[in-house]
Chains A and B, each alone.
Chain A
Amino acid sequence: MSSIFIARATQVAARSLDGEMMIMSARDSTLFTLNPVGTVIWQSADGKTPLAEIVERKVCAEFEVDPAEAMKDAEGFVNDLASHGILVVSGDPIAPPRAAPGEAR
């Protein structure tokens, strides 16, 4: 199975509020909030870590979920975010996005 790589889009505003990301698309001003699992995936979207690794090391490690089920949900989630232009999804590693708030720059 080919790997999926994800990166945070640059055309968004984003901030963590009480552990959950709020994200606004500059494209159409749509506001999104991500639940804690979605927040972990979004914050891990560095363009170079495969989604499967994010799910295994971050999602399954922090939340008690079945790995296969978690991966299936994660794929749906990242495709949904990509359709709104707030996440980039690719079969190849993606050039590094800007640091997420709270991350070292």
Chain B
Amino acid sequence: MSLMQELGQRALDRGVPLSVQLDVTYRCNERCIHCYLDHDDHGEMTTAEIRDLLDELAEAGVFFLTLSGGEVFMRMDFFDIVEYARSLMFCVKIKTNAFMIREKEAERLRDLMVQDVQVSIYSHRPEVHDAITLLPGSLKRSVAGIRLLRSHGVKVVVANVLMMQNLGDHAGVKELAEKLGAEYTIDPTITPMMDGNRSVLRLGLGVPQLQDVFRSSDLVGDVDEFCAPPPGVNDDMLRELPCSAGHTACYISPYGDLFPCVQFPLPSGNVRQQKFMDIWQHSDQLNEVRSISLRDLPVCSGCDHVGTCSRCPGLAYLEGNMRGPSTQDCEKSFARTSIPSANMHLKKAYPAPRGLVQIAAARTA
């Protein structure tokens, strides 16, 4: 067990919220076609409210604080927030499109010793990236922002969300990240709107595209290992928790609403009306989330993939049932292994197996 896993387990055993993502605004200068947010300001927390909240989070034991949006630099007081968070010794990570990062901002982020800055880059080609952000010139500015951050020694992570529009460009983005001295991560997940609107999912990759991504050794490493059939299900697996959402992590919106995770918009309280710790310890919603282990999932507990699936309880919730399957993750498990999930069997929603698929399936029989 790594030191990080050990700390995670200790936090879980003691009910400590080790990680919080705080979105400081939903306003944004980009209008990404796949974004799950409404960009109007419905009454963001003030600087003073956020400072009070940060005091509470530090007191509660939060160590990892991710500041995100929206675009964080749309807030004029963003550096006041970061400075205060660092004075409380949070490990601060920032998600931004870097469009507004110039010399002064890069210097300030270096001086504040933020852990890393994550920047979304969709393509190395401006015509593709800018067509996703709907902001002309955005790739050029984002890359310039990354260069400035790197020149000041700030660690940058390039996050590459994959969708149909940029499917062929991940190699180019990875190469760009390497040239910039940034880390690279890829995510083929498109999240439904927070209000449950699922129309953006049409942009997401289908199974054939996911199969291609999952068979790229540049992206997944050892393809045979990544795409291996799932091991047999056992009791230990079924005792596992679905993920850290609500257990050692949570998400807080610019309006003070607390959810188990940014991708799990189950309203669990509001920090403007209640103390953070009161919500964290006593929210019925969080306690319900915490009560669920894999054996409590009516469909997934009987699925071959239960021990290795990336099932997101938030995506399941957005599909109508937090104990149900997340179809997007069923598709990923199928794309990896060519073995349909229990949910896909129920819905008879999987393509006919192709070629080696039958061999892989037979090995688990």
Contact = CB atoms under 8 A, between A and B. Distances in A.
Contacts of A10: 113
Contacts of A31: 3-4, 7
Interface in A90-105: 98-102, 105
5 contacts: A12-B113, A15-B90, A22-B63, A29-B155, A31-B7
A14 interface: yes
Interface residues of A, number: 21
B113 A11 contact: yes
Interface stretch (B54-62, B217-225, B304-312): B54-62
A14 B61 CA distance: 10
Interface in B28-79: 58-59, 61-63
Nearest to B116: A29
Contact of B10 (A11, A14, A17, A102): A17
A11 B61 CA distance: 19
Interface of B: 3-4, 7, 10-11, 14, 16, 18, 58-59, 61-63, 87-92, 113-115, 155
A26 interface: yes
Given A18-B14, A26-B113, A100 B89 contact: yes
Given A13-B63, A16-B61, A17-B61, A33 B91 contact: no
A17 B9 CA distance: 11
Contacts, number: 54
Contacts of A98: 87, 89
Contacts of B91: 13, 24
A22 to B, nearest CB: 6
Given A15-B63, A101-B88, 14 more contacts: A10-B113, A11-B113, A12-B89, A13-B115, A15-B89, A17-B10, A17-B16, A17-B61, A18-B10, A22-B63, A24-B115, A29-B155, A101-B58, A101-B59
A105 B202 CA distance: 51
Given A15-B62, A17-B61, A22 B7 contact: yes
A33 B115 contact: no
B58 A15 contact: yes
Contacts of B11: 17
Interface in A1-42: 10-18, 22, 24, 26, 29, 31, 33
A49 to B, nearest CB: 19
Nearest to A30: B3
A7 B91 CA distance: 19
Query: Which of B7, B16, B18 is the most central at the interface, judged by chain A CB atoms within 10 Å of its CB?
Result: B7
A10 B88 CA distance: 11
Contacts of B16: 17-18
